[in-house]
Structure 1
Amino acid sequence: MKSAREILDSMIEKGSHEIDRDTDGLLLSSFSAGLDIGFGPLLMGVILTLSVGSYGDLSTELLLASAYSVGFIFVILGRSELFTEHTALAVMPVIDGEASLKSLGRLWGIVYAGNIIGGLVFTGLAVLLMPGLGVISPEAFGTIASKLVTHPLHWLLIAGVFAGWLMGLLAWLISSAENTISRVFFIWMVTATIGMLHLPHSIAGNVEVLFGLFTTNSVTVIDYLSFLSLATIGNAIGGAIFVGLMKYGHVTRGAK
């Protein structure tokens, strides 16, 4: 088992590598992540359409949470760039003095833009194909989106902090994992928790809310923009502060 110092060193090394990557590579990888993560919300729509249960039913909730994790498994095991991983991962070399805030901002900006654009393209393609699939109802996507947008704005921000916190912990756990099975388990455990709690994840939620916006009248553009902006801010705070700063602080102060 890796020590806390070894995990931190691994994260600093990975973060430095990503910060130093060329713009084209980062953009393509993050665009790919935005596409791939959309399979989670798409599968959630299928399950909610075909299941006899609904939100509030334990078995359906577990199925939906597991479906939600599928997109994350595709992205993280596929080594694509996900903004919410970098809220903690890429902060480490900055705190350690090996990278600048400017370089961190560049990485975050490129990865975030690629993730959002990829999610938009995936949603558009899925909406075009949905009538031919015959297994998804537009109402299912409206139901999924409403779980994220029908809350006070302060809830979106605070819950976004928790989602970012969990994603930062996931980056830490992935760095500690010794094999693929462990990584899959950690990804499922953390992202299914986010799904069960209906916490706003800015990148997966981008697709969830866009589906509702494109297919129903229950979600407005204002709902979408409010969700995206507050979830993004909350995710960044949760990953950078509650994982990046705190993990770095306790490890460098003598943790084993």
Structure 2
Amino acid sequence: MGQEEPEPQNEAISSDEQVRDKPEEKPQKPYETILAQQIRQANLELARPARGLLLSSLAAGLELGVGPFLMAVLSSLTRGVYARPAVELLVASAYAVGFILVVVGRSELFTEHTALAVQPVLAREASVLRLMRLWGLVLVGNLVGAALFSLFAAYLGPALGVMEREAIGEMAHNVIKHPSGTLLLSAVMAGWMMGLVAWVATSARETISQVVLVGLITLAIGLAHLHHSIAGSIEVLMGVFIGQGASVADFGRFFVLSVLGNAVGGSVFVALLKHGHVRHSS
């Protein structure tokens, strides 16, 4: 008699095993959790030593300059190209690069803190004086970093032959050419959208999600030519340093109005509204 052949093992995976092996989808964060995380994160930033805030915000000003630098390079390369919608989209995509570097890299940017750092004040966990200290230190660090990068880029770009002086001047002029009222309202909307960047960056669970969300929002800011106080300062100062498109007085008017508008947009339209709807829903 021959040996009995062993019964073939059933290689099919049961439905229970399939369920166990399937990775669970992470649920979306509740808005109460997002607010609590923002308050906790902002309290840590409010408590940081002045030197740490200044160095981090200086780094943010330098890193943010990558976007305007690429914008000037692309504007130089595409001068005379008639496919303007495609060019505008390409340049706006370059604008978003600097913001992705800053937000994902966790450097201190003033327009993020117009919404983020206000949350502990609204929750009565921090004073307005501490908020003003944070804003002042971060704004100074951002401006110094922006000025240093602008000076560096205004020399390096033309020296490498990748950036035309006329393109730099045109970019600077496009920022400051608007009446003061238009510039202020544009800055309010830019601050509003940057406040949303801080909110969605907290709500995202993964780095890739942060990159996509931050990139989409800041691309919209660049595409609409809204006035961001730090990125716009880099664009204007590049023109000031090469002597085309903008003057020191133009920069002063832009900076004051854009900072004011960004602060209103972030603190009122994001921090106040988000905090209010979460508190009244709990």
Structure 2 counterpart of 1:72: 99
Q: Deviations over 1:26-76 (max 9, x none)?
A: 000000000110010000000011125569811111111110011111111
Q: Return the alpha-carbon distance in structure 2 between the equivalents of residues 228 and 72 of structure 1.
A: 19
**Equivalent of residue 49 in structure 1, options 60, 76, 79:** 76
Q: By how many angstroms is 1:212 displaced?
A: 1.4
Q: Is this contact kept in 2: 1:160–1:200, CA < 8 A? A: yes
Structure 1 counterpart of 2:264: 237
Q: Deviations over 1:82-140 (max 9, x none)?
A: 00000000000000011000000000000000000000011111223223311100111
Structure 2 counterpart of 1:122: 149
What are the ranges of 5 or more consecutive residues in structure 2 without an aligned counterpart? 1-27
Q: Deviations over 1:135-173 (max 9, x none)?
A: 100111111112210000011111100000000011000
Alignment partner of 1:163 is 2:194: no
Give the AA of the match of 1:224: F
What are the ranges of 5 or more consecutive residues in structure 1 without an aligned counterpart? none
Structure 2 counterpart of 1:142: 169
**Equivalent of residue 200 in structure 1, options 218, 223, 227:** 227
Q: By how many angstroms is 1:175 displaced?
A: 0.5
**Equivalent of residue 121 in structure 2, options 91, 94, 97:** 94
Q: Return the alpha-carbon distance in structure 2 between the equivalents of residues 74 and 192 of structure 1.
A: 14
Structure 1 counterpart of 2:22: none
| Larger RCO (CA under 8 A, 6+ residues apart) | 1
* Higher radius of gyration, 1 or 2: 2
Alignment partner of 1:226 is 2:235: no
Tell me the percent identity: 49
Q: Of Structure 1 and Structure 2, which has the larger fraction of its residues in helix? A: 1
Q: How does 1:97-116 map onto structure 2 within 5 Å?
A: 97-116=124-143
Q: Give me the TM-score of the superposition, normalised by structure 2.
A: 0.88
Q: Return the alpha-carbon distance in structure 1 between the equivalents of residues 51 and 83 of structure 2.
A: 43
Give the AA of the match of 1:172: W
Q: Return the alpha-carbon distance in structure 1 between the equivalents of residues 162 and 244 of structure 2.
A: 20
Q: Give me the TM-score of the superposition, normalised by structure 1.
A: 0.97
CA 223–56 in structure 1, closer or farther in 2 if over 3 Å, else same: farther
Q: Structure 1 residue runs of 4+, over 4 Å off?
A: 52-56
Alignment partner of 1:30 is 2:57: yes
User: Which secondary structure does the structure 2 equivalent of 1:234 belong to?
Assistant: helix
Q: Deviations over 1:223-251 (max 9, x none)?
A: 11111100000000000000010100001
Q: Is this contact kept in 2: 1:156–1:230, CA < 8 A? A: yes
Alignment partner of 1:189 is 2:216: yes
Q: By how many angstroms is 1:217 displaced?
A: 3.1
CA 55–222 in structure 1, closer or farther in 2 if over 3 Å, else same: farther
RMSD: 1.3
Q: Return the alpha-carbon distance in structure 1 between the equivalents of residues 83 and 44 of structure 2.
A: 43
Q: Return the alpha-carbon distance in structure 2 between the equivalents of residues 188 and 146 of structure 1.
A: 25
Q: Return the alpha-carbon distance in structure 2 between the equivalents of residues 173 and 133 of structure 1.
A: 38
Q: Return the alpha-carbon distance in structure 2 between the equivalents of residues 20 and 141 of structure 1.
A: 39
